[in-house]
Each structure stands twice: as structure tokens, then as C-alpha cells.
Amino acid sequence: MSTATNDARQSLRAARGLGAVLDYAGASHRRACGLLIVFSLIAFLPGFFQIPPVDRDEARFAQATKQMLESGQYVDIRFQDEVRYKKPVGIYWLQAAAVKAGEAVGIPQARTTIWLYRLPSLFGAIGAVLLTYWTALAFVARRTALLAALMMASSVLLGVEARLAKTDAVLLLTCVAAMGALARIYLMSRRTPDLAVGWKLPAILWTALAAGVLIKGPLILMFVTLAALALSIADRSGRWIWSLRPLAGLAWLIVLVLPWFVAIIAKSGGSFLAQSVGEDMLAKVIGGQESHGAPPGYYFLLFWVTFWPGSVLAGLAAPRVWQARHEPGARFLLAWLLPSWAVFEAVITKLPHYVLPLYPAIAILIAGILEGGGLVTKRWLVRGTAGWFVFPAAIAIGVVVIFIIVGRDLGFVAWPFAAAAAIFGLFAWWLYEVDGPERSLLRGMVASVFIAITVYAVTFPSLPALFPSALIADEMRTSDCGEPQVAATGYYQEPSLVFLLGTGTRFTDATGAAIFLGQGPCRFALIDARSARSFVERANAIGLHYALSQRVDGYNISIGRPVVLNVFRSTEKP
């Protein structure tokens, strides 16, 4: 019997086993939530503890939180001496609480332990998966809601955000909570117009809105407002909006968010509003901020990768979704998805995670069509299921290339996991018409887990050159200096240096680094290759005594190019 036949049979048994697990978990809400938590941990934890701080956004958020802890100032937000008013304070408070808890239980060097700062994102991602399940229950049966939530847990984009100490996973949690409450209120009003909604669902809605505003400003308000407006226009009636308790809800939102806004405006004057609204939000609308501009269609093209493996079924479900657009459930989900998606495509500044709060709507739509057996069977669309194999195969090839370029080896350690991902993806595609879309999707989810292991748990930790700041910090820790002082020059002036080496880390030019090095003992200068000659000339001119402590050959992933850093240390006169 051929090896391919054996692999096919093993994959078939695995898919049936996964289907049985889904049946078992779908028998009760407790089991469903248990499965979602376990699967989310399996999907999100690979690499969570091992990967050093990632430039630039994660390191900026973590450093600003660390400075809050150092200063005891929990209203003002700063990165070194610069104010950081682009985002509200919510995520910094959550990260600070996580680090404080780490210190309380005795975790060594908690303030430079990046995974502690990532805990709010991990919990936010798991919470968002659970809330996707809760939201989907308003539209589909329990088992189908479970499948929709698993699509979110296995999606590439949420897997990335769950591992980064920034706002987006927590924002997703608040958005799904708000939209889940809004969905229930809307659907109840459609089915029984005179039914009193009560206060529970509006309380969830407005509390989630307040939390979302404190995490990332008014963005969450856009999702809810555009959805409610689109539904009112489509239904030619907005009476159901009064069931949201808008007056009491708005008052409650203000009560929750106003104290911090008053405090930060009192602290900063007009700087907070100028930076958060003017420099951050409006600047993204009219231009490509920080070189992140892209034309319309960017998110549509990126969706097929960022929502993988669920995205493979999106094309097969789309025609049936459009046919069902007049049904209340499909209408709500499309109102959640389409208006905000159009806004994001129109805005000049584009980053992949901006559309993440819209993905639960897509997951529920796909799961609903899958539940009714409504996926189209047109041959040219079915061929798209090859995406279940193409993506893990591309990842496997990409991992080998990265190992060759950065690590100068073939990365054999990653091959078994990459091969497992490719095999599950292959049989998801190959047996699609034999086993059906659900089992193929489950195979794709298992492939997603193996991809996470390959990339986050094996490749990144095996290539320390991808994180030069961590290498430099290790060098500082092995020195005989209790509190070394560091200055950096050139194009490697990354926030991760400040987070790992200390808030006092300086960014300067070659002349400034030479002068800095001569001002006392236990000082180090990080000189990039382009600045080395200027540094040496200046150091010799001022009679500086120094020595080369280390040479770091790395790769700066934030700019996508290699870096060579010379670590010079001040020395005593011979």
C-alpha cells in the first residue's frame, strides 16, 4: 500500500475524530466554551513566551507601560521624554496590571518580561473567540456557532494579534461584545416588535462601547453606528434603535470614559486631542501615515491570507450570502461588515489589523451557509479550495528561505511541523468533495496550529538574529555593570532597545555617541556600520579610550533589512 494512501486514511480518521470532538462539544455550552478555550490556547501559545519584544508598535506600547510603572504616573502616557497620546489609556492600564501581578507572584525581571505585557492581548483574543460563539448563537445553532468561533481562533490575523502587546485583540473583544448585544436587540425587535428588551443587553452594549473607547478611541463607535444606520435604511425604520436605551446608554458611556479624558486634558492641555484626533485619526484618513498607504482593494486581497483557513470557503459562501441578504440575520451581519469595510478601503492609511473587528461577521456568515449546505458547487470556485494547501506549502518554503538568509542553515528543526501543516492542508483540499467542507475546514484548522508552531515556536526562537535588541540586552546583562548606560546611532534606533536596556537609553549620532561614551564608566555605544567611521574619527579626536565589546549581525524585521551593530564600551586609560 502506498504512503500517500496511508496518509489519506490517517487524515480521514483524524477528520472524523475532529468531527466527533465537534459533536461532543456542541452538546452543551459548557463543553463548547471548554473546547474553544483549549483550542485557543493551543493556537495562541506557541512562541508566546519565547519571542522577544517585536518592533515597533509592541515595543512602544510595552515601554510606555513600563514608564508608567517606573514613574507611578498612570494618567500621562510617555515614551521616554515624548508624550504618546495617539491611543487612550486602557491598554496601558491592562498591561500595567498584568506586570504588577507578575511582580506580586515573584516573576524575575517582570518589567522587562515581554510576555507579561502580552497577557491582555492573549485574554482579549480568547475572550473574542468566546464572544464570537455567543454572538453566533443569535443566528445559528450551537454546533455551527462553535464552528464560527473556531474559524476566528484559527485565523492567521488573530493569531498574530494574540501574541503582540498592543490594542487590537482587546479592541476585538469589546467590538464583538457590542455587536453581539446589538444583534440580539435587533433580531428581537424584528421578530417581536412590541417585546420589551430590558436593560441587560443595552448595558452590555454601552459598557463594551465605553471599554472600546478607552482602548482605541472612537473606532468602535463607527462599527456600531454604521451598522445601526445601514439596518435602519434597509428596513426603512429606525424605531428599534430606541430599544438600545440610547439616552441612558450614552450617559453611562460618558460616566465611564469622561474621568480619564478630563484628567488627561488637564494634564496635557490640548496636546492629547491634537495628537489623538489630528495627528493619528485624521492624518490616516487623508494620507498614508508612516508609509502605510495603500489603494482600495488592499484589505480584500489581504483577507485571503489573514482569515485563512476560513477564507478558503468565503468565495463558495458569498453567492448564497448575497441571496440571503434580505433575511434579518444575514442583513445584520452584512450591515456589520460592508459599511465599515468600505470606510477602511477608502481611508488612505491601511494596516492589516484594522479590519479584524469585522472578521466575526464573516465567520458567522460562512458557518451559517455551511450549516444549511448552501456552499456553491461551481467548478471554478471549488478549485479555490487549493488554498488550504497552497498557504501552508508557501509557509514551509518561506521558513526554509528565512533560515537560509538569516540563520545560514536549512532549518531542519522546523521541517516536521511545516510538513504536518502542508499534509493537513493537502488533504483538506484533496478530500474536499469526498468528506465535505466541514471536515476539510477542520483539517485546515489543524494545519493552522502546525503553522503557528512552525513560525512562532520553532522558527523565530531559532533565529535570534531576527531580534538584535535581545542579543544586545544579553550582552549588557553579562557585563560587570549593574546599570549600564547605552547610546545608539544610525538606523537601528528601535523601541525594543529602550524597553530592554532602560528608559535612559539615548538615540544620537556618531559624534554624540563618542562624547557620551567618554562621560563615565559602564557606558556602551551601539554603532551601526554606516556610522562606524565617523564614530572612530570623533573618538580618536577627543582622546576617548574604548574597546569593541561585541559585534551583532542581525536582521531588522521592522524595516526588512540586515543590520550590523558594533557595541563599543568605554575603558580606563591604559
Task: Write down the pLDDT at residue 269.
Answer: 76
DSSP state of 280: I
| pLDDT confidence bin for 1, thresholds 50/70/90 | very low
Least confident residue range of 60-64, 200-204, 252-256, 561-565: 561-565
pLDDT digits (tens, 9 = 90+) for 231-244: 999 999 999 999 99
| pLDDT confidence bin for 162, thresholds 50/70/90 | very high
Task: Write down the pLDDT at residue 310.
Answer: 98
Mean pLDDT of 292-298: 87
Degrees, nearest 5: CA angle 485-486-490: 165
Residue 573: pLDDT over 70 = no
Q: Which grid cell is 82?
A: 515624548
Task: Write down the pLDDT at residue 309.
Answer: 98
Pick the closest to residue 413 from 445, 372, 458, 382 (CA basis): 458
Interatomic CA distance for residues 235 and 436, integer angstroms: 36
Residue 30: pLDDT over 60 = yes
- Respond yes or no on whether the N-terminal peptide bond of residue 309 is cis (omega within 30° of 0): yes
**Residue 379: is it exposed, middle or buried by C-beta count within 10 angstroms (0-12/13-18/19+)?**
exposed
Residue 493: pLDDT over 90 = no
Interatomic CA distance for residues 431 and 30, integer angstroms: 32
Q: Are 308 and 361 contacting, i.e. CB atoms less than 8 angstroms apart?
A: no
Find all residues with CB under 8 Å of 96, minimum gap 6, and list them.
65, 68, 69, 74
SS3 state of residue 198: coil
**What's the whole-number average pLDDT of the chain?**
92
Residue 494: pLDDT over 50 = yes
Task: Write down the pLDDT at residue 476.
Answer: 85
Mean pLDDT of 278-306: 74
| pLDDT confidence bin for 285, thresholds 50/70/90 | low
3-state SS string over 506-522?
Answer: EECCHHHHHHHHCCCCC
Q: Are 312 and 387 contacting, i.e. CB atoms less than 8 angstroms apart?
A: yes
**Residue 35: is it exposed, middle or buried by C-beta count within 10 angstroms (0-12/13-18/19+)?**
buried
- Looking up cell 479624558 gives 261
Q: Are 207 and 256 contacting, i.e. CB atoms less than 8 angstroms apart?
A: yes
pLDDT digits (tens, 9 = 90+) for 115-159: 999 999 999 999 999 999 999 999 999 999 999 999 999 999 999
DSSP conformation letters of 298-342? HHHHHHHHHTTTGGGGHHHHHHHHHHTTTSHHHHHHHHHHHHHHH
Mean pLDDT of 321-348: 97
Q: Which grid cell is 434?
A: 469526498
For residue 506, report the phi and psi dihedrals to the nearest 5 degrees.
Answer: -110, 145
Strand 546-556 with 561-570, pairing: antiparallel
| Helices 532-541 and 510-517, axial angle in degrees (round to 10) | 40
Least confident residue range of 29-38, 39-48, 521-530: 521-530
- Looking up cell 477542520 gives 442
State the sign of the Cα–Cα–Cα–Cα dihedral 216, 170, 289, 500.
positive
Task: Write down the pLDDT at residue 442.
Answer: 96
Task: Write down the pLDDT at residue 20.
Answer: 86
Find all residues with CB under 8 Å of 66, minimum gap 6, and list them.
99, 111, 112, 499, 503
Residue 472: pLDDT over 60 = yes
pLDDT digits (tens, 9 = 90+) for 359-410: 999 999 999 999 888 899 999 999 999 999 999 999 999 999 999 999 999 9
Residue 65: pLDDT over 60 = yes
DSSP state of 293: B
State the sign of the Cα–Cα–Cα–Cα dihedral 359, 365, 371, 376.
negative
pTM for the whole thing? 0.94
Q: Which amino acid is at 352?
A: P
Least confident residue range of 84-93, 182-191, 264-273: 264-273
Task: Write down the pLDDT at residue 386.
Answer: 97
| pLDDT confidence bin for 18, thresholds 50/70/90 | confident
Task: Write down the pLDDT at residue 286.
Answer: 53
- Looking up cell 516573576 gives 107
Task: Write down the pLDDT at residue 278.
Answer: 53
Degrees, nearest 5: CA angle 33-37-42: 145
Pick the closest to residue 223 from 200, 201, 205 (CA basis): 205
State the sign of the Cα–Cα–Cα–Cα dihedral 548, 549, 555, 556.
negative
Least confident residue range of 275-279, 383-387, 545-549: 275-279
